[in-house]
Amino acid sequence: MAVLNRVSEVFKESSTNTIIETSHSEDAWKNNLKVKDVISYEYAFDLTQI
């Protein structure tokens, strides 16, 4: 629950486009863009924006 609260707090004033841009700056997105694969939850440990 703490993670959800943190995400909510960080993005509460953010627009949809800001959230998209933020998520696309993460390795989880960058490393899966070309292969269009499911993004592993393991990337959660490496998030830099929250």
pTM for this predicted structure? 0.74
DSSP string, 12-46: TT--HHHHHHHHHTSHHHHTTTTTTPPPPGGGGGG
Checking if the pLDDT of 3 tops 90, the result is no
Domain map of the chain by residue range? 2-46
**Tens digits of per-residue pLDDT, 14-46?**
999 999 999 999 999 999 999 988 999 999 899
